[in-house]
């Protein structure tokens, strides 16, 4: 595969790695539309060479990214349960979050696109940018091994995203999907599922505010039912906000209950 020369050298500088085999990086930047057009040109000239695109590399890069993020979260947050780690990982490796580093690295500038994809604005398409970023991770892995790919992921994806989440969520990293987290906590406490009720909808169509309540039933053991209310610009946002308040309250109740258990248990210890 032919190398785009100076563009590749400029990207290597941005990536912080000089490739021993630039074909890996060229393939990572090659969209299927470009590869198919090149094959058609080759066929018209009597050649039958297959041109590789970045789809398989995207598959590998996604796996490497998931592994590195999982390893780092496991190491950094030993107090987190499996569900919390899974939610945090899903947040970090989501296409929406990967778009930011793809833009910062200016990956769109280096993509090799077919004419049709070029005309339709492919260099700015979110899916193409994220796919190419994952393919670049695979290229780093194939060219230099896991350590180099690991450093790239930490520097460009994981550390910036954790810093952003930390800034938004305070000292403790937040659970991303509070409705799911609340349901898990409710199930563990033996309560019936939460019920969400819309209390109020107000404001003009372009600036509506929704007020939702999360109704948490009592436990079979007699712990009280309670209601948490919150607002949001959409029903979903209001539900999540109400679920967060309810989840935090359940966590507080659980901590209070755990603090009382040792004293209660001590009362039943027979003297020796």
Catalytic site residues?
62, 134
Exposed, middle or buried: residue 185 (CB in 10 Å: 0-12, 13-18, 19+)? buried
CA neighbor of 134 nearest in space, from 160, 147, 152, 159: 152
Contacts of 259 (CB under 8 A, 6+ apart): none
The residue written with tokens 């659980």 in the block is 254
Exposed, middle or buried: residue 13 (CB in 10 Å: 0-12, 13-18, 19+)? exposed
Residue 102, token pair as written in the block: 């793809």
Distance separating alpha carbons of residues 192 and 194, to the nearest angstrom: 7
């Amino acid at each position: 595969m032919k190398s785009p020369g100076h563009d590749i050298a400029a990207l290597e500088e941005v990536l912080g790695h000089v490739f021993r085999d630039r074909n890996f990086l060229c393939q990572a930047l090659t969209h299927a539309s470009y590869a198919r057009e090149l094959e058609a040109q080759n066929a018209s000239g009597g050649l039958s060479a297959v041109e590789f695109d970045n789809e398989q590399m995207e598959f590998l890069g996604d796996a490497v990214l998931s592994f590195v993020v999982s390893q780092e979260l496991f190491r950094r947050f030993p107090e987190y349960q499996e569900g919390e780690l899974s939610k945090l990982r899903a947040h970090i490796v989501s296409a929406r979050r990967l778009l930011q580093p793809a833009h910062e690295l200016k990956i769109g500038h280096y993509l090799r696109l077919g004419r049709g994809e070029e005309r339709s604005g492919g260099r700015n398409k979110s899916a193409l940018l994220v796919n190419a970023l994952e393919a670049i991770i695979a290229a780093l892995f194939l060219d230099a091994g896991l350590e180099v790919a690991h450093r790239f992921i930490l520097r460009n994806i994981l550390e910036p995203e954790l810093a952003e989440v930390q800034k938004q969520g305070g000292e403790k990293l937040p659970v991303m999907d509070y409705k799911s987290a609340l349901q898990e906590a409710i199930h563990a406490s033996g309560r019936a599922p939460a019920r969400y009720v819309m209390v109020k909808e107000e404001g003009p169509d372009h600036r509506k505010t929704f007020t939702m309540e999360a109704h948490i039933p009592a436990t079979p053991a007699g712990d009280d039912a309670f209601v948490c209310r919150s607002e949001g610009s959409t029903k979903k946002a209001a539900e999540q906000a109400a679920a967060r308040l309810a989840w935090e309250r359940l966590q507080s109740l659980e901590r209070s209950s755990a603090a009382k258990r040792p004293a209660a248990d001590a009362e039943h210890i027979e003297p020796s």
